Amino acid sequence: MTTVISASGLEKRFGRTVALDGLDLQVDAGEVHGFLGPNGAGKSTTIRIILGLARASGGSAALFGQDPWKHAGELHRRVAYVPGDVSLWPNLTGGEAIDLLARLRGGTHDKAGYAARKQRLLEVFDFDPRKKGRAYSKGNRQKVALIAAFATSAELYILDEPTSGLDPLMEQVFNREIARVSAEGATVLLSSHILSEVEELCDRVSIIRAGKTVESGTLAELRHLTRTEIAFAADGVDPATLAAEVDRIPDAHDLLIDHGRVSFTVDSDRVTSVLPELARLDVHGLTVSPPSLEELFLRHYGDELRERTDVSEEALA
Amino acid sequence: MSTLGTLLRQRLRRDRLQLALWIIGIGVLAYGSIAAVLDTYGDEAERTQILQLATASRTILVFRGTPNGTDLGAFSFFELFAWLALMGGLMSTFLVTRHTRAEEEQGRAELIAATPAGRVKPTVATLIHGVVANLVLGVVVALALIGAGLEAEGSWVTGAAMAATGIAFVAIGLFAAQLFRTSRGANGAGVAVVVGAYLLRGIGDAAGTPSDDLLHVTPAWPSWLSPIGWGQATGAFVENELWPLLLALGVSVVLVAIVFALQSVRDQGASLLPGRKGRASASWALSSSFGLAWRLNVSTLIAWAVGAAVAGLTASSLSGLIDEVSGDVPQVVDTLQAALGGGATLEQAFIAMFLSIIGILAACCAVQVAIRARQEEAHGTAEQVLATPVPRMRWLLEYWLVGVLVIVVVLAAAWLGGLAGSGASNTPSDLVPLISQAALAQLPVSLVFLGLTLLVFALLPRWTIGLGWSIVGVAAIVGVFGPLLGAPDWMVDLSPFTHSPVPTGDDIDWSGGFWMIAIGLVAAALAVVSMRRRELASGA
């Protein structure tokens, strides 16, 4: 399998601010790769370096095996990019901007084919191309970049938080387009902080934090690292007795009895060992939830969240 | 009341620097111009001559006003008022759009409208803000005139005329904000009305009836359609009549009433004229980054080119006239010739001077193209273009090319305007090579500023706008007005404008031009090469 994007030990400093601090990222051909991190983690900076719009202060980045800073122009023939915050030219209509971007990308040689693709996308995204750039809302500006990207066929689609202004209906349209280009063999790098989106679309994810990659792999691999939550109804049993029972189960952690539900977590590879115990207790309303990406995420950012809560509590005190 | 007070304070707070600059700027302009008038035309005989020349030529009246006797105050009012009112008008319409339509377009007005302030109070606050700004402007202008040594009553009448005209433009701006969907549309309409009012009274003044001694002109009816014309009708320093200002205030009251009637029935964010629908797909011209750079600059270019053509036309038609009167009024010729620099014939000197001003215009155009590149970068649209197969160096090189084209078009427009006006000359055939050389002579200096601003953009992107305008502004002031203001030679020599070839006499020294072309090309080349090493610097 060939590597489309590879970055290792990527560093980027803006004055004294460290935006990237040894980031690693590998995206293989044909995969849909989720690039996860909270705002300010360095996602957009990484993308700008991969596109050759910014230069790394350290480490190395390669796009299709070449240095993106030196070969930006030629590499861009193979890439379609949707920025996170799409700006439009105030005196160009949305339709003009779409055509311009598609033509610059060189994806309009087949005129009839392009016109048909554009027309289909205008319809599925329910977009009015005749308004001037200023008149569009954030979601509609994003549609301009998305339509321009999907109307041309690229080997690699780089999408920086592409759905942040779209409504749920349009998110579905977006998901279908990603599925389409992926089925056609394109590679997709999808930066996001919307976990459900990544869960639905991506084959592999990289989670970054403060300019560093903290986790990378398939969702199954990552899930493996976290605990599954098991919960059942307390059914009027005396909480103390129940707690004592559960405590006897090996592998059970984080016991919580609340709102008539008992819940605890187990390491994901130990779930089966817990089941006989649950059968013995004859529990009702059993739910076994594999870890969501959200929990994965919180595992890495939870302490940050806690710190922030502490700070605000201190401020209140 | 408290919400209105809050809104008003917010407007004052937001505008404190910008408005102060406008008002003080206009005040300084008034003071400085009067000082120059006193210096140049201190003598009544000189004023008589220039007024007779102006009345005879008519074209000058378009840019000045109606002569109203040789009194120093009246003469200053004639020279100055229309210009000052034009500036005050622009200040007023920009002010209004900034706080009304622009806010609505950005969605901030909605935020305010959802508070107890409601939909209408922001407009009331903007009206008060605009009226107060114009009253302050009137006082500042009156004090500037008094400070420069003019008589008090006439100065206060001038100040009142400034305030009343400005208030009329505030009302017009408010009306435009109701009509148009975008701030660009509202500002465009505002500027068009202000400039239109200026030109309307220019036409009326030029078509007016002169008195026998050519020292007074009674304006024709078009002047009475213009708020600036009403301000002129006060006859400050002579008649000192205030009733024409009631016209301005009356129109303002009517317009404001219409504005509030419209505002109370329309939706937040809606406009009387629906937003125009544009093309659904791009024309063939918009299929490259060069096409885009051209498209982004072409609308301003048209405006500049029209200005250059009018200036060229004025220059050559006036020069013919100067030739004509030179027999009649030799003193005027002496005065003008002294001001223009000796050696050359009056006609040559006059055209050379006028076209050197067009050189400044072309240089400003070039600077604007370079600044557009920066705006594209700061706005984030350049990022999208550069994420396609367009290399950074080519992208900047294309801006340079567009800059060169813009310069050529502006100079060509001035040249064509000049040729069209040369028919008024006694010897049009002499004028053609002169105008051609003078227009061509402005090319090098424009290339210098194009290259320098692009270099600033490549090396210090965040400084492009401020430094770009400052360099060309300071160079223009030092180069063109420096000698008049008594600036030292070395300082004057620093300005590229000083080195533009001057096509007077038989031997034209083109060497300065060649040097400047070289400098302009080297600066542009450095800029393009530096772009290879530079990242995109988005944001302000």
pLDDT higher at B406 or B267: B406
What pLDDT does B135 receive? 97
Mean predicted confidence (pLDDT) in A217-222:
81
Selection from B98-102, B133-137, B296-300, B389-393 with the highest mean pLDDT: B133-137
- B184 interaction partners in chain A (CB closer than 8 Å): 90-91, 134
CB-count exposure of residue A310 (10 Å: 0-12, 13-18, 19+): exposed
Best residue in B384, B398, B531 to probe A by mutation, most A CBs within 10 Å? B384
Does the structure show a pLDDT above 80 at B344? Answer: no
Mean predicted confidence (pLDDT) in B207-212:
84
Strands of B400-449 (E only): list them. Answer: none
Contact state of B279 with A130 under an 8 Å Cβ cutoff: yes
Using CA atoms, how far apart are residues B227 and B502, in angstroms rounded to an integer?
40
Q: Which of A53, A99, A129 sits opposite B383 (nearest CB)?
A: A53
Residue whose tokens read 């965040």: B462
Up-side HSE of residue B508: CA atoms within 13 Å toward CB?
A: 18
DSSP A289: E
Q: Which of B181, B291, B383 sits opposite A83 (nearest CB)?
A: B383
What pLDDT does B320 receive? 63
Distance between B192 CA and the closest CA of chain A, angstroms? 18
Best residue in A55, A69, A85, A100 to probe B by mutation, most B CBs within 10 Å? A100
* Number of separate helices (H) and strands (E) present in chain A: 11, 13
Contact state of A91 with B381 under an 8 Å Cβ cutoff: no
Tokens of A291: 């870890």
Q: Three-class SS of residue B67?
A: coil
What pLDDT does A230 receive? 85
Total CB pairs under 8 A between chain A and B? 117
Up-side HSE of residue B309: CA atoms within 13 Å toward CB?
A: 12
- Which helix H or strand E contains A265, and what residues bound it? strand A261-267
What pLDDT does B486 receive? 64
Residue whose tokens read 């004023």: B47
Distance between B417 CA and the closest CA of chain A, angstroms? 29
CATH number of A227-289: 3.30.70.980
Residues 108-147, chain A, touching B (beta carbon < 8 A): 108, 118, 129-132, 134-135, 145
Give the residues across from B216 on adjacent strands: B68
What pLDDT does B540 receive? 45
Percent of chain B with pLDDT over 90: 43
Using CA atoms, how far apart are residues A109 and B287, in angstroms rounded to an integer?
11
Task: Say how far residue A112 (Cα) sits from the centre of its chain.
Answer: 34
Please tell me whether the interface predicted TM-score (ipTM) of this complex is above 0.85.
Answer: no
pLDDT tens for A131-189 read 888 778 889 999 999 999 999 989 999 999 988 888 889 999 999 999 999 999 999 99
Write the CA distances from B119 to B1, B6, B116, B173, integer angstroms.
Answer: 15, 15, 9, 18
pLDDT tens for B3-38 read 899 999 999 999 998 899 999 989 988 888 888 788
Using the Cα atoms of residue A86, residue A91, residue A92 and residue A93 in order, give the sign of their dihedral: positive
Q: A54 in contact with B at a CB cutoff of 8 Å?
A: yes
Using CA atoms, how far apart are residues A57 and A7, in angstroms rounded to an integer?
13
The correct answer on CATH 3.40.50.300 for the domain covering A3-223 is yes
Selection from A98-107, A164-173, B169-178 with the highest mean pLDDT: B169-178
Q: What is the pTM of this model?
A: 0.75
| Region(s) of chain A under CATH 3.30.70.980 | 227-289
- A85 interaction partners in chain B (CB closer than 8 Å): 380
